[in-house]
Amino acid sequence: MKKFSVAILGCGTVGSGVAKILLDMQPMLSARAAHSITVKTIVDLFPAKSARAYNIPLSLFSGGGKDLTKEEASAYITEVINDSEIDLVVETIGGTSEYLYSVMLAAVNAKKHLVTANKAMLAEKGAGLFAAAREHNVTLGYEASVCGAVPIIKAIRECFTGDEVQEISGIMNGTSNYILSRMEHDGLDFQTALALAQKAGYAEADPTLDISGGDAAHKLVILMKLAFGADVRYADLQKTGIQTIAKEDIDFANEMNCSIKLICHAKKSRGKVFAAVMPMMVHHDNFLSKVHGATNCVEVRNAYSGKHYFVGAGAGSLETASSIVGDIVFAARYGTAVENIPASTPHTLADAEHSEFAYNITFSTEDRPGITGLITSAIGDQHINIDTVSHNRHNTKNAVFSVVTMPCTLHQINGAIAAINAKAPGLLAEEPKIIPILH
């Protein structure tokens, strides 16, 4: 059986999981790949610490298992790239630095297969890597970059080749879903739920990328490239996080038979692509409302085969590592026959203000008679049909109430808010909170 040698760059949470699976399952994986898959070397700054997680032999680490300086690690990485016996490089360092990009590009240019979970790099700088992989006829594996163990990349790339993906909706960030789930089921406020997420290991010390929608947006950009052939810029994607979601929003969503989730939503319609990452009230007749904790779920709607749901662990050492190892096996078995895709065309996203949803609009106003009528009239003047108006939920000196609309555009809602401010300056105590409703 021909040998297939793998090098792992970065042996932290995910990289150590990759090493463990490759070592534990070596005979089985080799049989599946029809090649003898072996770990030739691992480059990591702190081998002893990394080895302890899963009892990885220190002899596999460059430098013999001693801690490395960044300069030493860089020199060993260069050796990996120049080593003609290494067939595939696994990148689990993470980040979007120019140095790491140059390392990944150098590996591909050296005609080595590359497997990565680095969603940020692929979303922001992936075009050059995919182009190089096509030029040198090597595999770029990235299943683990979107939703960890959930096989959504292979499903879109391989299983739906006889169909057309029209819409993607999903919970693609486990940290945010864990926080919102604890707020909903335990009655917690945002800060308390965030602290619990950090204690449980779901949230980083600096959780900004997760709670702002940035992490989920990286994943949605990758899926749009695959599903729609739309090369959209990460910077152009509308991103709204969960930081402003309050207990009263959760309570009102519950009254409406909804749960609040951070949703990645992309839809192709009449040649345009509408996309955004934002908190949405998800009606309980939608399966996404039933996905709790740190679990991820992606709903794909196709032109011919309808709806499909992909549910599983969106992160975790062994969970994410299993997806990486799957890509390694495919690269070993099929090599240059694996289609990398993202050869998508530059695409400008349609203005999200003109995408239609039902909306929940929460107003905080002066507490005086006639306000509800003034606001609902302004909404009606924008040709928006109103579904329901909630009772007032008094908050100190202000009246807080919500208006639920029938499907309309954010552009119409913004027009109504502008009209309210023009008719009654100072009436609104704060900017209305606008949350789309996903049925």
Strands (E) located in 44-133: 86-91, 113-116
Question: Taking Cα atoms as reference points, which of 115, 111, 184, 169 lies closest to residue 144?
Answer: 115
Angle of CA points 347, 113, 168, to nearest 5°:
35
Single out the catalytic residue among 219, 239, 268, 433: 219
Helix axes 47-54, 13-24, angle to 10 degrees: 50
- Cα–Cα distance for residue pair 106/78, rounded to 1 Å: 9
The two structure tokens encoding residue 95: 């980040």
Whether 30 contacts 37, CB under 8 Å: yes
Residue whose structure tokens are 């119409």: 412
The one-letter amino acid code at 240 reads T
| Cβ within 8 Å of residue 186, ≥6 positions away | 193
- Half-sphere exposure of residue 273: CA atoms within 13 angstroms, side-chain side: 28
The two structure tokens encoding residue 406: 């029938």
Whether 405 contacts 359, CB under 8 Å: yes
Tell me the sheet residues that pair with 398.
366, 395
- Half-sphere exposure of residue 234: CA atoms within 13 angstroms, side-chain side: 19
Catalytic site residue 119?
no
Residue numbers annotated as active site: 219
